[in-house]
Amino acid sequence: MALGATLDHERALKAGDPLPELWHWMYFWPLASTGELGVDGHPRKGTFLPDLGLPRRMWAGGRLRFDRLLEVGSSVSRTSTIEKVEEKAGRSGRLGFVTVKHRFADERGVAIEEEQDLVYRDAYAPGAPAPQPTAAPMDATWQREIAPTEAMLFRYSALTFNSHRIHYDKTYSINEEGYSNLVVHGPLIATLLIDLVQRHLPLAMVKAFSFRAVRPTLLGNAFFVCGEPGADGKSIELWARDHEGWLTMRARAEMD
C-alpha cells in the first residue's frame, strides 16, 4: 500500500495476493548500522560488495526473470552472489562494473531471478566532460508525466532503506557528486516504467524485464515514462524522457 501511494497508484493488497513486479525491492534491505555507512550514505564497500578504490557507486541497470509472482505474506529467501567484476577506462576516468545475481525463492522454489549492474566511479572532478545526451523518442503510445518532489524521493528512500545522500542531501549531491539538484532514484524510474505497463495491461503477466540508466534524472522538473507495445503483442519498449527531451532510461518488458 505504501509503495502504491508513493506511485499514485493505490492498491488494496491482502495476504495471498500477488506482489506486483519490482515491489520486492522494498524487502531484503542491507541492514548496515549507521556507524557502518560511508560518507555517501551507502554501506561501506569491502564486505559483500567489493571495494575497487572508486568512491562513487550507483545502480546502472538490471535484468529480471519472473517465473511467477511472489505472494503477499509468504516466507521468501534471497540468495545473492557476485557474478562479475570489471574495470574500464572512460571519458570521465576509471570505471568499475559489478554484476550481482539474486534468486528469490518461497516454499514452491525460485520465483524471481535478477541481475543488478552496479557502476563505480572516480570522485567528482569539476570540469570533467559530461557524456553526450541521446534524444528520446517523442511518439509513445503510452505516456505519463511524473512531477518528482522531495517527498516522493524521501518516501522511496524510506521504503527501500536507501540512504545514498544524492537522493536527500542537496548540498552533498551538488558539491560532492557534481549534480545540480537531488537525483531521482534509478530503481524508482524503473518501477514507474513497469507501473506504466500495469496501468495499461492490468491483467498481463510480465515474464522478463530489463532496464538501463542512460542519464541522471534530477529534481526540479517533470519527466515522462513512455511505452510502445510491440507488433508481436508480447513485448513493450519502455523509456524515460526528461523535460529537455533527453533519454534517461531505456527498458523492455516481455509478456507471457
Structure letter (DSSP) for residue 220: T
Digit-coded pLDDT (tens) for 241-251: 999 999 999 99
CATH number (domain holding residue 97): 3.10.129.10
pLDDT higher than 90, residue 182: yes
| pTM (two decimals) | 0.94
CA-to-CA distance for 199 and 225, rounded, in angstroms? 12
> In total, how many domains does the chain have?
1
Q: CA nearest 82: which of 118, 106, 121?
A: 118
Which grid cell is 237? 519498449
Distance spanning both ends of the chain, measured CA to CA: 26
Q: Which domain holds residue 101?
A: 2-255
Of 11 and 126, more confident? 126
Residue 91: phi, psi to the nearest 5?
Answer: -60, -30
pLDDT at 64 over 90: yes
How far apart are the C-alpha atoms of 100 and 81, rounded to whole Å?
Answer: 6
